[in-house]
Amino acid sequence: MEKRLSKKQTIKFTPGSIIVGKWHKKQYQIIRSLGFGARGTVFLAHCEHGRVALKFGFDNAGVTSEVNVLNKFSKVQGESLGPSLYDVDDWVTRKEVYAFYAMEYISGSPLLECIRVKGFEWTTIFILQLLKDLGRLHEAGWVFGDLKPDNLVVTSSPLKVRWLDVGGTTPIGRSIKEYTEFFDRGYWGFGTRKAEPSYDLFSVAMIFVNATDGCKMEKGQDPEKKLIRHIQSHRKLAPYADVITQALYGKFSTAGQMRRALLEQISETPSRARRISKVRMIKRKSKRKAEWKGTLLLVGIILLAYTLYVALFIM
């Protein structure tokens, strides 16, 4: 086992290792690592209640902050926004004391993997779900902050987007404390890192971009123009370009506004598709009519030539 003392080090457990809380005496058996981020390391573990996600923070303050966020989430009206919180305790070794908490283990498929399997058209469904939950979060006075596909999972029966890591969640009005460059508006030059609803909505727009074949764009020398050009020209993104662009430029003040705009865009897309299909059908009919006329003309010419041949050489 390797103790985690800083962000540059890693805490590891052998599968089967037993963790016992100092205060509540609850026992957890480590199954495997689920990943690590800027504020801690998460493990899948088994306890008397079943499987849980066990997170060890870099410091007590970080753990306390995340626990407070999870407690806030549980008080937001409606379905739980993030994982349910089960336990908060310390794990004592011979040399160190590690703060940790146990939370609901959300089993599902990573967002981008789910989109890849089901098709890009599912992106809008998941984005609409995400915007609904973000609206409730913002109304409660918080911004998700580090919003990206890695922090989102799709559960089954029914298919539902759930949040995994709340480490970047920040009270509205403060500075974003954790972010990932590709989904950060400050990185692309579209605004500040102030915690406000429009910051999360920029990240939602970038999730849209990231969902196209799961690729990430390079920033380049003129990131703003490059990003807008990519959105307008990409065949998958073009139908939603207006909504995505408005989100990038902070035109939506609430998640509800963006959600309504996206719903309107979706409702208009089939009509536009039908109009395009009708135009193409008319063109095809005109082309077939012209081809038929050409065929009749050619047959007429052949018949006339044959008649002249018979009249001149046979009769």
- Structural contact between residues 15 and 30, judged by C-beta atoms closer than 8 angstroms: yes
Q: Is the pLDDT of residue 41 over 80?
A: yes
Stretch 228-245: mean pLDDT: 95
More confidently predicted of 58 and 115: 115
Sole residue written with tokens 């004592």: 92
C-alpha torsion angle, residues 245, 202, 257, 234 (rounded to 10) = 30
Q: Please state the CATH superfamily assignment of the domain spanning residues 109-268 in this structure.
A: Transferase(Phosphotransferase) domain 1 (1.10.510.10)
Lowest-pLDDT choice from 3-17, 77-91, 127-141, 230-244 = 3-17
Residue in 87, 146, 184, 200 annotated catalytic: 146
Q: Please report which confidence band the pLDDT of residue 270 belongs to, taking 50, 70 and 90 as the band edges.
A: low
* pLDDT for residue 179: 93
Q: Is the pLDDT of residue 31 over 90?
A: yes
Stretch 43-64: mean pLDDT: 91
Give the H/E segment covering residue 100: strand 97-104
Q: Is the pLDDT of residue 302 over 90?
A: no
Give pTM, 2 decimals: 0.80
Count of CB atoms situated within 10 Å of the CB of 256 = 17
Q: Is the pLDDT of residue 204 over 70?
A: yes
Lowest-pLDDT choice from 162-171, 180-189, 223-232, 251-260 = 162-171
DSSP state of 302: H
Q: Is the pLDDT of residue 281 over 90?
A: no
Count of CB atoms situated within 10 Å of the CB of 252 = 23
Give the H/E segment covering residue 137: helix 122-139
Stretch 97-101: mean pLDDT: 93
Statement: 18-104 belongs to CATH 3.40.718.10: no
Stretch 70-91: mean pLDDT: 83
- Structural contact between residues 262 and 124, judged by C-beta atoms closer than 8 angstroms: yes
Can you point out the beta strands (E) in 3-94?
18-20, 27-36, 40-47, 50-57, 85-92
Q: State how far the alpha carbon of 40 is from the alpha carbons of 14, 55, 84, 106, 259, in Å.
A: 18, 7, 18, 18, 32
Partners of residue 175 on adjacent β-strands: 194
Residue 146 known to be catalytic: yes
Cα 129 to chain center, whole Å? Answer: 10
Closest by alpha carbon to 131, among 219, 44, 205?
205
More confidently predicted of 219 and 216: 219
Q: Is the pLDDT of residue 184 over 60?
A: yes
Three-state DSSP at 101 gives strand
- Structural contact between residues 85 and 103, judged by C-beta atoms closer than 8 angstroms: yes
Task: Among 36-50, 54-68, 145-159, 273-287, name the most confident range.
Answer: 145-159
- Structural contact between residues 248 and 205, judged by C-beta atoms closer than 8 angstroms: yes
Stretch 198-221: mean pLDDT: 90
Closest by alpha carbon to 137, among 72, 47, 184, 67?
72
More confidently predicted of 66 and 3: 66
Q: What share of the chain is helix, strand, coil (3-state, %, to 5)?
A: 45, 20, 35
For the chain, give every domain's residue range. Answer: 18-104, 109-268
Q: State how far the alpha carbon of 44 is from the alpha carbons of 16, 28, 90, 107, 157, in Å.
A: 11, 9, 17, 11, 22
Residues 117, 297: Cα–Cα separation, whole Å = 52
Look at the chain and count its residues. 315
Q: Please report which confidence band the pLDDT of residue 190 belongs to, taking 50, 70 and 90 as the band edges.
A: very high
Share of the chain above pLDDT 90, in %: 60
Q: Is the pLDDT of residue 49 over 80?
A: yes
